[in-house]
Amino acid sequence: MTGGLLRTLPLGLQALAGPILTQLPITPFNLVCTNMPGPQFPLYLLGHKMVRCYPYPPVDGETAANCAILSYDGTLYFGFSGDMHASPDLQRLEKFLKLSFFFGIRAINPAHNSKGSTLIPRNFLDHQGYS
């Protein structure tokens, strides 16, 4: 609510009102997303290669869900966290993200569609509980 009201003000007033509104005990948002560039080369600890690096966005009392994206060694890793009471179906965010990537790949590579391949496993929706 506050975020929508703040956008209706001229930029100068937004700059003045923003710091004041952040002190109010209301939350103008319920989802925070962040991206962090990580090293684009493998890291090692005591001779062991780190093969994955999942970010953990911290949960605070003001947001319902958090999403973090971290790049590591040429791969993107996603991390989700949230308040189980405010967003009890947070695990669906991960499933919908995977499904979005499948459809995005299919949309930019129509050659796969003409061969009869969907790029999406036939049982993907059933397995994920969306049937």
Which residues neighbour 97 within 8 Å (Cβ) at sequence distance 6 or greater? 78
Q: Is the dihedral of CA 33, 39, 42, 45 positive or negative?
A: negative
pLDDT over 70, % of the chain: 68
pTM above 0.85, yes or no: no
Q: Which two tokens stand for residue 84?
A: 């189980």
Structural domain boundaries, residue 108: 89-131
**Structural domain contains residue 63:** no
Residue 119 to residue 109: CA distance in whole angstroms: 10
Q: How far apart are CA 74 and CA 54, in angstroms?
A: 13
pLDDT at 42: 95
118 located within any domain:
yes
Whether 72 maps to a domain, the answer reads: no
Question: Does the residue 2 lie in any domain?
Answer: no
Which pLDDT score is estimated for 44? Answer: 97
Q: How many domains does the chain have?
A: 1
Q: Does 66 reside within a domain?
A: no
Query: What is d(CA 79, CA 98) in angstroms, rounded to the nearest whole number?
Result: 13
- 62-83 pLDDT, tens digit each: 678 888 999 999 998 999 888 8
In a domain, 25, yes or no: no
45 found inside a domain: no
* Residue 105: inside a domain: yes
Which pLDDT band, with edges at 50, 70 and 90, does 23 fall under?
A: low
Residue 6 pLDDT: 59
